[in-house]
Amino acid sequence: MTITLYGISNCDTVRKARRWLDTQGIDYDFHDFRKDGLELATVERWLETESWDKVINRRSTSWKALAVDARESMDRDSAAAAAIESPTLIKRPVLETDKLLEFGFSESRFATLLG
Protein backbone atom coordinates (compact mmCIF):
# COMPACT_ATOMS: atom_id res chain seq x y z
CA MET A 1 0.00 0.00 0.00
CA THR A 2 1.36 3.39 -0.99
CA ILE A 3 0.76 6.10 1.60
CA THR A 4 1.07 9.78 0.82
CA LEU A 5 0.95 12.39 3.55
CA TYR A 6 0.20 15.89 2.26
CA GLY A 7 0.85 19.06 4.22
CA ILE A 8 3.43 21.72 4.90
CA SER A 9 6.62 20.92 6.74
CA ASN A 10 6.36 23.70 9.32
CA CYS A 11 2.83 22.75 10.46
CA ASP A 12 2.81 21.35 14.01
CA THR A 13 0.02 18.87 13.25
CA VAL A 14 1.82 17.61 10.16
CA ARG A 15 5.00 17.19 12.23
CA LYS A 16 3.05 15.16 14.82
CA ALA A 17 1.61 12.93 12.10
CA ARG A 18 5.02 12.41 10.50
CA ARG A 19 6.58 11.62 13.88
CA TRP A 20 3.80 9.10 14.60
CA LEU A 21 4.22 7.40 11.20
CA ASP A 22 8.00 7.27 11.70
CA THR A 23 7.63 5.83 15.22
CA GLN A 24 5.28 3.15 13.91
CA GLY A 25 7.74 2.26 11.14
CA ILE A 26 5.19 3.09 8.45
CA ASP A 27 6.65 4.03 5.07
CA TYR A 28 5.06 7.02 3.39
CA ASP A 29 5.78 9.72 0.85
CA PHE A 30 5.56 13.30 2.10
CA HIS A 31 4.16 15.87 -0.33
CA ASP A 32 4.74 19.45 0.78
CA PHE A 33 2.15 21.80 -0.68
CA ARG A 34 4.59 24.69 -0.71
CA LYS A 35 7.62 22.88 -2.15
CA ASP A 36 5.92 20.29 -4.36
CA GLY A 37 2.84 22.26 -5.39
CA LEU A 38 -0.72 21.03 -5.57
CA GLU A 39 -2.66 20.04 -8.66
CA LEU A 40 -6.31 20.86 -9.20
CA ALA A 41 -6.97 17.21 -10.11
CA THR A 42 -5.79 16.15 -6.64
CA VAL A 43 -8.07 18.62 -4.84
CA GLU A 44 -10.99 17.66 -7.09
CA ARG A 45 -10.38 13.97 -6.30
CA TRP A 46 -10.56 14.78 -2.60
CA LEU A 47 -13.75 16.80 -3.12
CA GLU A 48 -15.35 13.84 -4.90
CA THR A 49 -14.90 11.83 -1.69
CA GLU A 50 -15.40 14.47 1.00
CA SER A 51 -17.49 17.61 1.35
CA TRP A 52 -15.68 20.91 0.87
CA ASP A 53 -16.06 21.80 4.55
CA LYS A 54 -14.13 18.67 5.53
CA VAL A 55 -11.32 19.50 3.07
CA ILE A 56 -11.14 23.20 3.96
CA ASN A 57 -10.08 24.15 7.47
CA ARG A 58 -12.51 26.85 8.54
CA ARG A 59 -10.52 27.50 11.73
CA SER A 60 -7.33 28.41 9.87
CA THR A 61 -5.87 31.88 9.56
CA SER A 62 -6.05 31.39 5.77
CA TRP A 63 -9.83 30.92 6.05
CA LYS A 64 -10.16 33.99 8.25
CA ALA A 65 -8.12 35.99 5.72
CA LEU A 66 -10.66 35.27 2.96
CA ALA A 67 -13.19 37.95 2.16
CA VAL A 68 -16.46 37.50 4.03
CA ASP A 69 -18.42 37.01 0.79
CA ALA A 70 -15.94 34.31 -0.33
CA ARG A 71 -16.45 32.43 2.95
CA GLU A 72 -20.23 32.81 2.88
CA SER A 73 -20.58 31.65 -0.73
CA MET A 74 -18.05 28.79 -0.54
CA ASP A 75 -19.08 25.67 -2.42
CA ARG A 76 -17.31 22.68 -3.96
CA ASP A 77 -16.02 24.57 -7.01
CA SER A 78 -14.92 27.68 -5.16
CA ALA A 79 -13.29 25.50 -2.47
CA ALA A 80 -11.19 23.77 -5.14
CA ALA A 81 -10.11 27.08 -6.62
CA ALA A 82 -9.37 28.58 -3.19
CA ALA A 83 -7.32 25.52 -2.17
CA ILE A 84 -5.19 25.77 -5.29
CA GLU A 85 -4.65 29.48 -4.74
CA SER A 86 -3.90 29.01 -1.04
CA PRO A 87 -3.11 25.38 -0.10
CA THR A 88 -2.87 26.36 3.57
CA LEU A 89 -6.69 26.40 3.51
CA ILE A 90 -6.64 22.61 3.38
CA LYS A 91 -7.10 20.77 6.66
CA ARG A 92 -3.75 19.16 7.41
CA PRO A 93 -2.35 16.66 7.17
CA VAL A 94 -4.05 14.75 4.38
CA LEU A 95 -3.41 11.01 4.53
CA GLU A 96 -4.15 9.25 1.26
CA THR A 97 -3.83 5.66 0.10
CA ASP A 98 -5.56 3.83 -2.71
CA LYS A 99 -8.37 2.96 -0.27
CA LEU A 100 -8.60 5.79 2.25
CA LEU A 101 -8.57 9.53 2.63
CA GLU A 102 -8.24 11.24 6.00
CA PHE A 103 -8.00 14.93 6.86
CA GLY A 104 -6.37 16.03 10.10
CA PHE A 105 -4.41 13.95 12.60
CA SER A 106 -5.43 11.85 15.54
CA GLU A 107 -3.16 9.08 16.83
CA SER A 108 -6.11 6.81 17.52
CA ARG A 109 -7.65 7.43 14.11
CA PHE A 110 -4.36 6.80 12.29
CA ALA A 111 -3.84 3.62 14.37
CA THR A 112 -7.31 2.40 13.39
CA LEU A 113 -6.82 3.22 9.72
CA LEU A 114 -3.27 1.94 9.38
CA GLY A 115 -3.09 -0.71 12.11
Across the range 1-17, mean pLDDT stands at 96
Confidence bin at 98 (pLDDT 50/70/90): very high
Percent of the chain residues topping a pLDDT of 90: 98
**Cis amide bond preceding 93, omega within 30:** yes
Task: Say how far apart CA 11 and CA 25 lie, in whole Å.
Answer: 21
Contact 79, 56 (CB under 8 A): yes
Contact 22, 100 (CB under 8 A): no
Q: Is the pTM of this model over 0.85?
A: yes
Residues belonging to the active site = 11
Q: Is the pLDDT of residue 90 over 90?
A: yes
Q: Quick one: pLDDT at residue 1?
A: 83
What residues contact 17, with CB distance under 8 A and at least 6 apart? 5, 7, 93, 95, 105, 110
State which fold the 4-114 domain adopts: Glutaredoxin (3.40.30)
